[in-house]
C-alpha cells in the first residue's frame, strides 16, 4: 500500500474541499502510519517488561560464604549460635571410666560455629548439632575409649574427643556439628571400649541397645562406691603362742562393670565387679616380728556374702602382693548389690620379712560389712 504524504493532505484542503473531507483524510493517514510501524525492526513487545507490572521478589538465600559439611562429616565447634536445641529426658551415655551427657541437640541449615566460621549443609541436607558434657574417672580413658557418630551406618570419629579425657575429676563441654541428609534414617553417637559399646540415638534422644544396670545406677558416675569402712581383725598367734592380729582396713569398695586388672566385663549385663581395696595392718606379735604387708593371704581366704550366697575372690582380677601397702580383691556379684559382708578366714598365715619366714596360726575370722548406695 502507498502511503499518502502530508503534502497531499494540504492540497486537498486548499483545493476547496470541505472540512469533513480534511478530517477524514487526517484520520486515514494516522491509521496507515500506525499499520506500517508494526513491520519495522526493534524489541518485540512480548519481550518487554509490561508497564506497571510488579517484579516478583526473590526468595533465595543470601550468598553463603562459610563451610558446607558433606553428609556424615563431623566438626568440633566453639559455639552453637543460630540454632534451637532441645534436651533429652536422659542423655547419659557411659563406658569405661567415662560419663558422657548429651546436654542438648537439634538441627539447622546454617550454624555460627564461633571463631568467625559459619557452617552450612549441602543441598537436600541439614546440620545436626549436639552438645556433650564429658566427665572422666580414670587415668587411661583417653587411650581406651573411642567416640564416634554414624549417619545411616557411616561412622566418623568425634574430633578431639580423646583430648577431653584428661584424668579423674576432669569435666568438660564439647560441641559438634554433623551433616545429615533430610531423609536420614539413623544418627548414632557411640562410646566404645574394646568390644563393648554404648549407643545414643541423636534423632530420638535416647539410648539404644543393651544397657548394663550398674553403668546407669548412679546419677553421677558409671559406678557406686563406699570408702573408709570399719577395720576388721583376724586373730593370730606366733610360734610361741603370743597373740597378734592381721587387720583388714578397707579403704574403698566399688561396684563397677569393668574388671580392675584386665578391664573384663562380667559374663552377664546384670552382673558387676565388686572391687575392694584394703590396707593390711598389724597388731601384737605380728607387729613386733614382722609387718602385715609381708604377709600374703591366699585368695581362698576371702569370700563375699550378699545375705543369700557366698562369692569367691576372682584371682585373675585380684592383686595381693608381698610388701604392698594396698591390696585388691575382686568379686563377680549381682549388679543390684547393696548390703554385703567381706570375710577373711584361714588357718595359717606366713609372713616373710628381712629374708626370714614367720609362721602364724590364725583362728576365727575377720568381717567387714558394707552398704553400697542405691543410686
Identify whether the C-beta of residue 128 lies closer than 8 Å to the C-beta of residue 102: no
| The Cα angle at residue 159 between residues 108 and 99, in degrees rounded to 5 | 90
Confidence of residue 62 (pLDDT cuts 50, 70, 90): low
- Of residues 136, 270, 153, the one with CA closest to residue 193: 136
What pLDDT is recorded for position 167? Answer: 87
- Which whole number is the average pLDDT over 194-220? 95
Task: Give the number of other Cβ atoms within 10 Å of residue 119's Cβ.
Answer: 23
In the chain, which ranges are continuous DSSP H helix?
6-14, 19-37, 141-144, 285-289
Q: Grid coordinates representing 103?
A: 546436654
* Res 41: pLDDT: 34
What are the residues facing 304 on neighbouring strands?
A: 311, 342
Name which of 113, 369, 125, 104 is nearest 253 in CA terms. Answer: 369
Q: What is the pTM of this model?
A: 0.77
pLDDT at 288 over 80: yes
Contacts of 118 (CB under 8 A, 6+ apart): 64, 65, 66, 67, 110, 111, 112
| 275 vs 5: which has the higher pLDDT | 275
Instruction: State the Cα–Cα distance between residues 225 and 337, nearest whole angstrom.
Output: 11
More confident residue, 238 or 53: 238
Integer Cα distance of 322 and 314 in angstroms: 18
The mean predicted confidence, pLDDT, of the chain is: 84
CB count, 10 Å around CB of 130? 26
Q: Strand 187-193's sheet: what is its strand order?
A: 154-157, 145-151, 187-193, 196-201, 206-208
Mean pLDDT, to the nearest integer, of 37-66?
A: 40
Amino acid at each position: 500500500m502507498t502511503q499518502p504524504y502530508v503534502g497531499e493532505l494540504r492540497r486537498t484542503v486548499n483545493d476547496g474541499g470541505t472540512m469533513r473531507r480534511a478530517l477524514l483524510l487526517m484520520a486515514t493517514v494516522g491509521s496507515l502510519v500506525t499499520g506500517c510501524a508494526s513491520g519495522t525492526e526493534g524489541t518485540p513487545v512480548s519481550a518487554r517488561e509490561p508497564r506497571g507490572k510488579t517484579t516478583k521478589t526473590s526468595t533465595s538465600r543470601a550468598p553463603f560464604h562459610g563451610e558446607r559439611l558433606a553428609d556424615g562429616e563431623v566438626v568440633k565447634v566453639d559455639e552453637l549460635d543460630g540454632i534451637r536445641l532441645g534436651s533429652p529426658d536422659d542423655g547419659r551415655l557411659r563406658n569405661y571410666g567415662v560419663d558422657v551427657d548429651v546436654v542438648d541437640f537439634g538441627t539447622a541449615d546454617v550454624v555460627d560455629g564461633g571463631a568467625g566460621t559459619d557452617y552450612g549443609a549441602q543441598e537436600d541436607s541439614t546440620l545436626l548439632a549436639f552438645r556433650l558434657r564429658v566427665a572422666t574417672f580414670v587415668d587411661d580413658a583417653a587411650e581406651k575409649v573411642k567416640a564416634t557418630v554414624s549417619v545411616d551406618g557411616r561412622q566418623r570419629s568425634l574430633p578431639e574427643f580423646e583430648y577431653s579425657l584428661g584424668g579423674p575429676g576432669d569435666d568438660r563441654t564439647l560441641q559438634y556439628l554433623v551433616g545429615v541428609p533430610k531423609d536420614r534414617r539413623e544418627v548414632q553417637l557411640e562410646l566404645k571400649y574394646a568390644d563393648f559399646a554404648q549407643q545414643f540415638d541423636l534423632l530420638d534422644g535416647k539410648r539404644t541397645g543393651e544397657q548394663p544396670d550398674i553403668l546407669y545406677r548412679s546419677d553421677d558416675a558409671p559406678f557406686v562406691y563406699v570408702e573408709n569402712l570399719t577395720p576388721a581383725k583376724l586373730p593370730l598367734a606366733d610360734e610361741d603362742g603370743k597373740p597378734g592380729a592381721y587387720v583388714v582396713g578397707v579403704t574403698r569398695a566399688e561396684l563397677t562393670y569393668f574388671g580392675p586388672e584386665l578391664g573384663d566385663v562380667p559374663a552377664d549385663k546384670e552382673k558387676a565387679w565388686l572391687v575392694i581395696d584394703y590396707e593390711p595392718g598389724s597388731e601384737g606379735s605380728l607387729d613386733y616380728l614382722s609387718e602385715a604387708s609381708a604377709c600374703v593371704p591366699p585368695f581362698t581366704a576371702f569370700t563375699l556374702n550378699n545375705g543369700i550366697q557366698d562369692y569367691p575372690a576372682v584371682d585373675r582380677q585380684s592383686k595381693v602382693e608381698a610388701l604392698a601397702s594396698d591390696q585388691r580383691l575382686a568379686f563377680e556379684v549381682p549388679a543390684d548389690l547393696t548390703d554385703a559382708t567381706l570375710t577373711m578366714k584361714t588357718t595359717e598365715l606366713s609372713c616373710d620379712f628381712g629374708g626370714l619366714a614367720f609362721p602364724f596360726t590364725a583362728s576365727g575370722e575377720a568381717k567387714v560389712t558394707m552398704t553400697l548406695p542405691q543410686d
